Structure 1
Amino acid sequence: MTIRKWFKSGAPWIWLNAGAIAVSVIMVVGLLTLILVRGFGHFWPAPILETQVTTPEGGSVRVVGELVRSETIPARVMRQSGMSVPADLEVATRHLIKQGNRDVTGRDFMWYPEWAMSQWRYPDAAMWIERREWGDFYGFPLRLLEDGRVIAEGKTQVWEALQPRIERANHIHEQIESIQRGEIGRVNYLMERVRLDQRRAQMAFEQGEIDAAERDRRLAELEERKQELSARYQELRQQLQELYDQVDRDVLVARVADGREWQVPLAQIVRAAQPNAMGVFQKLGLYGERLWNFFTGYPREANTEGGIFPAIFGTVAMVFVMSIIVTPFGVLAAIYLREYARQGTLLRMIRISVYNLAGVPSIVFGVFGLGFFVYFVGGAIDEAFFPAALPSPTFGTPGLLWASLTLALLTLPVVIVATEEGLARIPSTVRHGSLALGATKSETLWRVVVPLATPAMMTGLILAIARAAGEVAPLMLVGVVKLAPTLPVDGNFPYVHLERKIMHLGFHIYDVGFQSPNVEAAQPLVYATAMTLVVLIVVLNLTAINIRNRLREKYRGESD
């Protein structure tokens, strides 16, 4: 009887709901913790081990590298795969070692059985090098060369002389990148503008808009401009060659695991460290440096090395452009449906269509965006405003604008529904009071009702941002690429280039996780990029929530 009363009181359902919420929170926190540890833990300087591994032929090889992970599996499984496992073993442990040196050994990750490995040692002189090509390098420093001359020899002397020269090489590399991405990029952009202006002049002459004398005058001016740009380009190429000559003079000679000497040009070194000889604070400094480079750097090695700054920038730019597009259209549509449209069957059908639109798979929006926005609208824009560039498309190809428009169409129902709900919650007494004081219906709507519904509009925008930032499928068709050579914002007029393709964190995760040729190297970057995307969405949402709360307090105070 007591249990029956307890059930009738509703207490079990309260505890059931609380338990479900607690389990959900634990799952979310656990998932985020897993992503955080496996992603950002990758940048912590791991100790470098050295061991001898006995080969099935009876020989041995020396292995130097980082322990990635270990796994214990039944010995019979390893025997079935063809491995020679001791007969007395029922379970076998193997270790995945990141030995780097892909240009030396051909592969930088290798599984080694524990029973074939000697005791692990952690020599202080073991060196880890992050390179711009061929992945990480592990070895022991021997000599430092400058233009072929030995300037330092021995582990201690080489290491002391190496760090300042790496800083010098990185400084020169930054100058090279600045010239290539900045000044040479600007010259190439202006050269393309000159080429298009030359073609426009020729097309204007052929269509009878100008005479031959005017055409020749324009072409002469453009040719003079082209010669100036060509001369500037040659100057920049000469500067680049001088920088390359400076950075190519230093070479590090190191001993790899098999005893061979290997030359590592300092031009290819990003940073070097001896983790086994570093203290906790030194490791923290290196960890922060690597993490900062991950957020601000450009990708390398098929996106399995380097940073994700272009993907972060592209994601934020696309979300902002999408928000600018979807907000006015969604709000105006909701205001019309709620305040002006005549209630009836047609309006109910429109609302049902809006609700159904929210359930359409996102890839359908991508196909629509490709066919309508890119090919139809973009092709028409090219024919009307950029005929000189044809057949090379300007807007008739996937880009930032079409990706943002597609996502705006995808999230439009969310904004409409949220805004309608906000308008419906405004008491009718507010409208009647405004009308009684002599305000017109339009004045009541735009000066009283809409400001009070602004928090609901911001709620719709928050939901739209959360969905748009995580979409991948439609973006693959309408503007997102594996690697974008330039950002959509630069110093060239009109400064914001909506026609350019962009990188996106969601697509970057897909590409690195499923298209990477080096799975083991890509796995931690997938976790790190996923965590970055989650944090970015949270930051964008918190910003919108803060704006919504401020607006709510503002209009609540005015209404009081």
Structure 2
Amino acid sequence: MKNWWKSGAPWIWLNGGAVTISMIMVFGLLLLILVRGFGAFWPHPVFETVYELPGQDPVPVVGELRRSETLTAQAIRETGIPIPEEQLVVTRHLIKMGNRDVTGRDFGYFIDDFLEEWRYPKDMAVLERREWGDFYGTPVRLFEDGRVVAEGEALWSEFQTRVRRANDLFDEIRSIERGAIGNVNFALERVRLDRRRAELRGTLTEQLEAQLQERREHLQADYAVLETRLNELYREVARDTILMRAADGREVTIRLADIVKAWQPNQMSLPAKIGFYVDDFVGFIFGYPREANTEGGIFPAIFGTVVMVLVMSIIVTPFGVLAAIYLREYAKQGPLLKTIRISVYNLAGVPSIVFGVFGLGFFVYLTGGAIDRAFYPEALPAPTFGTPGLFWASLTLALLTLPVVIVSTEEGLARIPSTIREGSLALGATKGETLWKVVVPLATPAMMTGLILAIARAAGEVAPLMLVGVVKLAPTLPIDGNFPFIHLERKIMHLGFHIYDVGFQSPHAEAAEQLVYATALILVLLIVVLNLTAITIRNHLREKYRAESD
């Protein structure tokens, strides 16, 4: 036994066990996110039953089973619910009931002992609405301008047709509001800033004033045309309504303009459920958030995360590589260089929120304020770059990940054998030619490794971004068709902050639970895709320069 310990085998087994446990935990977490995230889009069956507590009136319940849990009977007794003394455990169900505008709550806990038999009516429908969450009930009549157009067996097919029509009209409305009208407002603001700029410079002539007025009138005419079309669309989309009967018998009239989609899960076949699942997942990826981010899609958050990571990569790569080349190849070895290296290593251990505070103070207020005063005085007091935005968020993350790129690049340069340098110099190349044409290309895979680590960390950071450019809901994307097309001053959404906001700031925690898992799954997949892209590029470069060296 003593020789076995001296051989080092126990430490090998200990390390192997630790790695195994870590991998099991990581894959277990990923599996949990995968199951909960992908399960959010499956059309679950809807049941109806009656909940009757002793001494209280029966309460009809309609909804989806979200989860069940077993608790001690004593814990339930403490809430005031009468549970027999001989009973030790109780099963409790969390049911998504929807109908928040009718009952005042989306979810509710119900004790299994007081629930009657669950029934699954075929005509039970689920309506996903733009506001007030889902509605569960039975369709009664379909109206057009107050006139009944369908009921009974013909109701559902006609209802689905008119829901698709309402969604097409709604998409056109959003396209005009976010696209055409947004472009007109952007152009009007440019006219105002051009006039203000001319006033500040003393170049506002009558001719320029007339030109600006002509541009303004032309844009206002375009706006009037779009506004007329919008009013027509709003009248058309408000034409149809449906009468729904809730679980307690109350009848509620719902505009088809407020319905995103409708389905009857208890009648759906497996292929229909798969088709619904795919459509719902695609809508989640490419849709826009609603209801304080607890409903709808996450496309702005995905777009903002990708753009921010790309801008960060463009900034951090040249600075990190050049700094590493100078420290390794040109700087004189001595106490000063050792101090710089220690500072770089320590910089990697600084909490990320400190970088956020630094970015807010130095980049946003100091640098951004100076840029506004120098280049955008016509926009003041409204800041252009003197406010958190995409560029400052990317720059802060570049500073945060800079030590990773420097250290990785330095290690790559150090692994290049000295014989390669000496051979290049012996053939007559200068030190600069040797560095840039021989050494740096061979160290490129190490540089890409540093960039991969930087991307992985930057994509998941949240704390500093809350201070320097990421918001709960960004009204516009940072890239559009208006010059200069990439708007670095705009605020963005981010998947990490979206998860934090929905999970911890949402007024409806139960409703947001599945959305948190789904968004976390997309964030993990996005990081994997970004890393795989960088790894593919690194491997290609490694094979390329290996073939050239052979």
Structure 1 length as normaliser, TM-score? 0.97
> AA paired with 1:255?
R
> AA paired with 1:510?
Y
> Are 1:59 and 2:57 counterparts?
yes
* Match of residue 301 from structure 2: 311
Match of 1:160 among 135, 142, 157: 157
Map Cα deviations across residues 55-106 of structure 1 (whole Å, 9 max, x no partner): 4443212111001111221222122122233444322222111110111111
In structure 2, the gaps of 5 or more residues are none
Q: Runs ≥4 in structure 1, deviation > 6 angstroms?
A: none
**Displacement of 1:160:** 1.4
Comparing 84-93 and 401-410, the one that deviates more: 84-93
* Match of residue 188 from structure 1: 185
Cα distance in structure 1, aligned partners of 2:75 and 2:505: 28
Cα distance in structure 2, aligned partners of 1:381 and 1:8: 65
Secondary structure of the equivalent of 1:503? Answer: coil
* Match of residue 150 from structure 1: 148
Cα distance in structure 2, aligned partners of 1:21 and 1:498: 42
Report the RMSD for the aligned CA atoms in angstroms. Answer: 1.1
Secondary structure of the equivalent of 2:40? Answer: helix
> Are 1:491 and 2:488 counterparts?
no
Secondary structure of the equivalent of 2:108? Answer: strand
Match of 2:237 among 217, 240, 247: 247
* Match of residue 370 from structure 1: 360
**Displacement of 1:403:** 0.2
> AA paired with 2:33?
I
Secondary structure of the equivalent of 1:50? Answer: strand
Secondary structure of the equivalent of 2:38? Answer: helix
> Are 1:466 and 2:456 counterparts?
yes
**Superposition pairs of residues 111-130 of structure 1, within 5 angstroms:** 111-130=109-128
Secondary structure of the equivalent of 1:253? Answer: strand
* Match of residue 537 from structure 2: 547
> Are 1:178 and 2:175 counterparts?
yes
Match of 1:442 among 432, 441, 464: 432
* Match of residue 510 from structure 1: 500
> AA paired with 2:49?
T
> AA paired with 2:459?
A
Secondary structure of the equivalent of 1:438? Answer: coil
Map Cα deviations across residues 365-418 of structure 1 (whole Å, 9 max, x no partner): 000000000001100110011000000000000000000000000000000000
> Are 1:416 and 2:406 counterparts?
yes
Q: What percentage of residue pairs aligned between the two structures are identical?
A: 69
In structure 1, the gaps of 5 or more residues are none
**Displacement of 1:219:** 1.5
> AA paired with 2:172?
Q
> AA paired with 1:431?
R
Cα distance in structure 1, aligned partners of 2:86 and 2:141: 47
Cα distance in structure 1, aligned partners of 2:164 and 2:61: 29
Structure 2 length as normaliser, TM-score? 0.98
Map Cα deviations across residues 310-366 of structure 1 (whole Å, 9 max, x no partner): 000000000000000000000000000000010001000000000000000001100
> Are 1:359 and 2:330 counterparts?
no
Cα distance in structure 1, aligned partners of 2:118 and 2:233: 43
Map Cα deviations across residues 477-522 of structure 1 (whole Å, 9 max, x no partner): 0000000000000000000000000000010011001100110001
Comparing 226-235 and 14-23, the one that deviates more: 14-23
Secondary structure of the equivalent of 2:148? Answer: strand
**Displacement of 1:536:** 0.6
Secondary structure of the equivalent of 2:205? Answer: helix
> AA paired with 2:79?
S
Contact 1:201 1:219 in 2 (8 A): no
* Match of residue 330 from structure 2: 340
> AA paired with 2:183?
R
Cα distance in structure 2, aligned partners of 1:89 and 1:144: 49
* Match of residue 11 from structure 2: 13
* Match of residue 431 from structure 1: 421
**Displacement of 1:225:** 1.0
* Match of residue 398 from structure 1: 388
**Superposition pairs of residues 515-530 of structure 1, within 5 angstroms:** 515-530=505-520
Contact 1:382 1:393 in 2 (8 A): yes
* Match of residue 202 from structure 1: 199
Cα distance in structure 2, aligned partners of 1:204 and 1:447: 50
**Displacement of 1:23:** 1.6
Contact 1:202 1:215 in 2 (8 A): no
Match of 1:24 among 22, 25, 30: 22
Cα distance in structure 2, aligned partners of 1:488 and 1:100: 35
* Match of residue 318 from structure 2: 328
**Displacement of 1:15:** 2.9
Map Cα deviations across residues 36-71 of structure 1 (whole Å, 9 max, x no partner): 111220111111010011144432121110011112
Alignment: residue pair count: 550
Cα distance in structure 2, aligned partners of 1:463 and 1:232: 49
